[in-house]
Amino acid sequence: MLSLIGGSAHTVLGMVEHPRPFDLIVPSAQDLPLDETRELIPADAVRAKLSEMSEPYLAMLPAVARLCATPLVHIGPPPPVAAEDRIAPHVPWILFPGQPHAIAPKWVRYKLWRVHCEVIAAICTRLDIQYVPAPERSKDEEGFLHPDYDRDGAHANASYGALVLEELRGAI
């Protein structure tokens, strides 16, 4: 059985520029670029917020796992797209009241994605659910979703899905 539950909190939190522009240092990837002109917020605070946002969804995993006749495998979310101009035309701006009509910088979005993946992976480990991260082949040289696998700036395409299926064949 496969799960994709709770994989978008990082997008909700940081796809659109926050009214108080922020950045963070990800402990597991401290070498990522940091914009010192932005407010620096603790990674633990970001982790806590992403956990809180994911909790209503990820809380279903134990019940789903109990209902499965086979082990549950959870698929991690795809990495963010680097190009802001690919994202902006598809944003439902009405869902972001009070926020600037601007896309957050790529490295902020990437860091939020990394932390969110860590949150999901930790929950899966705690619940003895196999976690399958985004396929390495789906990423560009910086770790963002390669344009070949981008559908609309916010979602991956069918080719990405084919890569995930290949990963699953090796993982299951």
Each residue's pLDDT tens digit, 63-119: 999 999 889 999 999 999 999 999 999 999 998 888 889 999 999 999 999 999 999
- How much is the pLDDT for 98? 81
Q: 167 pLDDT band (50/70/90 cuts)?
A: confident
pLDDT tens for 7-49 read 899 998 999 999 999 999 999 999 999 999 999 999 999 999 9
Q: 51 pLDDT band (50/70/90 cuts)?
A: very high
Alpha helices in 127-157 (DSSP H): none
- How much is the pLDDT for 171? 65
d(CA 5, CA 56): 10
Q: Do 163 and 138 form a contact (C-beta atoms < 8 A)?
A: yes
Residue with tokens 């659109």: 16
Q: Which helix (DSSP H) or strand (DSSP E) does residue 106 occupy?
A: helix 106-126
* Strand ranges across the sheet with 2-3: 2-3, 73-75, 130-132
d(CA 43, CA 151): 29
